Amino acid sequence: MVQQMVEGVNAILTIGWYLCLYRVAVDKLPTIPYPLDMDLENITPKRNVLTVSELTRMVKQLLESNYTDIWISGEVSNYTRASSGHIYFTLKDERAVIRTVLFKGFQKGIRFEIENGLKLIVHGALSVFEKRGEYQIIADFLEPEGLGALQLAFEQLKEKLQKEGLFDESKKRPVPAFPDTVGVVTSETGAAIRDILNVIRRRHSGVRIIIYPTLVQGDEAAQSISKAIKKANDRKEVDVLIVGRGGGSIEDLWPFNEEVVARAMYKSSIPVISAVGHEIDFTIADFVADVRAPTPSAAAEIVVKNKVELIRTFADLHRRLFETMTRSVQTRRELLSRFTIETLQDRLTRLLREKQMVLDDLTKSLTASIITNLTRLRGRFEKLVGQLDVLSPLATLSRGYSIASRMRDGRTVLTTADVRPGEEISTLLLDGRVYSRVQDTEKAGGTPIS
């Protein structure tokens, strides 16, 4: 295409050149007959010298009036975006190149990023930039060749944000277990809010909802959504944020594929649940969100599921509190019923009876053991008495022995040395005493009487 264009332009330039030459030639055609007094100056073909500007203007007029509505395909190179916001690049194919400019005013409808190597179909008009002697295409529309423009924009942004880490699992926060207050960023008149409120009402969840109204389609929607997310973060009154809208065409859902929305969601300090369109619709917002809900209704389910669980937990605790207390009192009452006065008396009587029996037993065995002891003692006593009898001096006396003792001091006379002649002694006999005086003493062989 580029090549065809360039050939066309070249052809025109060539024609233009020939036209110039032709005009010069026609102007200078000699009239017949030749005057004899030919002026030298007039003979020489007259040169119509154009200024650069004049020629360029001619070329410009020629090109700009003939190429006002062209479609051209080619590959992007030398892409630059000037500080003015205008985009410049070169379109090329194997054999030719053509400069292209996309002014800022025409960029609004273009959602994908233009980048080198991208194959584009461009619509626009040819223009000659006199100052540089260049011609270029002033583009007013362009789309990627092959892939749809939106699809390309989606893939490009997805790749970019993925590289930046906006989709990282590690950055995702869990939805709070017990959200009291749920923020919803969506249209107040849309299907999404209706579905969400239906679910929440059906589940009797006791969740407070705050709607942050926003546009959800059209050019202004992305900004509006990101502002609503920021507002919710500024106000800090909700525990979790549902961001979404009901189903629609890819164009309708497009705001949720915009970078500004993705960044607002990523920056949000409140956990975000995305809820865009139907189950099959995947948007950039779904990748950035902490949790992706397939639909707005599903987002509501996620939010109230926890709340419903919380209420169940509470109800269960409440029931158990009273049950355990009732049971505890019941147990103690049963325990108490075992200790009435009657049962106590009974128990005491039984106890006393038992003790009495033990006492009786003890008494009985005590008596028995005393008797045994006494009998044994008596036997021993009688034996001892017998022994005593044998040892008694009386028994000795009865066998014919007698015991003499000195009168003066009563000492028993054992040896001859105990008495002196003339000493008075008393002799004990079996039935009385004999008093006598010692005539003499005589030691029997020198050995004492035993």
Please give the residue ranges that form the binding site for other proteins (CB under 8 A): 178, 180-181, 188, 193-194, 197, 201, 206-213, 231, 235-237, 239, 310-311, 313-314, 317-318, 320-321, 324-325, 328-329, 332
Calpha distance 305→203 (Å, rounded): 9
| Contact yes or no for 116/77 (Cβ under 8 A) | yes
- In terms of Cβ atoms closer than 10 Å to its own Cβ (0-12, 13-18, 19+), residue 233 is middle
Q: How many CB atoms lie within 10 A of CB 243?
A: 33
| Contact yes or no for 88/99 (Cβ under 8 A) | yes
CB of 321 to other proteins, least distance (A): 5
Q: Is 102 or 242 the residue whose CB approaches other proteins more closely?
A: 242
CB of 292 to other proteins, least distance (A): 24
CB of 278 to other proteins, least distance (A): 22
CB of 226 to other proteins, least distance (A): 15
Q: Token digits for 29? A: 């055609």
Calpha distance 263→222 (Å, rounded): 11
Calpha distance 214→211 (Å, rounded): 9
Calpha distance 1→94 (Å, rounded): 10
CB of 246 to other proteins, least distance (A): 14
Q: Is 29 or 335 the residue whose CB approaches other proteins more closely?
A: 335
CB of 2 to other proteins, least distance (A): 53
Complete DSSP assignment for 27-76: HTPPPSSPPSS--HHHHSPPP-PPPHHHHHHHHHHHHHHH-SSEEEEEEE
CB of 324 to other proteins, least distance (A): 4
Calpha distance 414→279 (Å, rounded): 144
Closest CA to 125 of 62, 71, 89: 71
Q: Is 20 or 209 the residue whose CB approaches other proteins more closely?
A: 209
Calpha distance 241→259 (Å, rounded): 18
Q: How many CB atoms lie within 10 A of CB 77?
A: 13
Going by their DSSP bridges, the two strands 181-186 and 208-213 should be labelled as parallel
Q: Is 150 or 185 the residue whose CB approaches other proteins more closely?
A: 185
CB of 176 to other proteins, least distance (A): 9
Q: Is 74 or 183 the residue whose CB approaches other proteins more closely?
A: 183
Looking up tokens 């939805």 gives: 175
Closest CA to 108 of 84, 135, 78, 141: 141
Q: What are phi and psi of 249, to 5 degrees?
A: -70, 170
CB of 210 to other proteins, least distance (A): 5
Q: Is 241 or 284 the residue whose CB approaches other proteins more closely?
A: 241
Mapping DSSP to helix (H, G, I), strand (E, B) and coil, where does residue 188 land? coil
Q: Is 210 or 260 the residue whose CB approaches other proteins more closely?
A: 210
Q: Which residues contact 182 (CB under 8 A, 6 or more apart)?
A: 200, 207, 208, 209, 210, 238, 239, 240, 241, 242, 303
Q: Token digits for 249? A: 């065409």
CB of 297 to other proteins, least distance (A): 15
CB of 181 to other proteins, least distance (A): 7
| Contact yes or no for 262/157 (Cβ under 8 A) | yes
**Residue 393: is the preceding peptide bond cis (ω within 30°)?**
no
Question: Cα–Cα distances in Å, from 252 out to 191, 220, 274?
Answer: 13, 12, 16
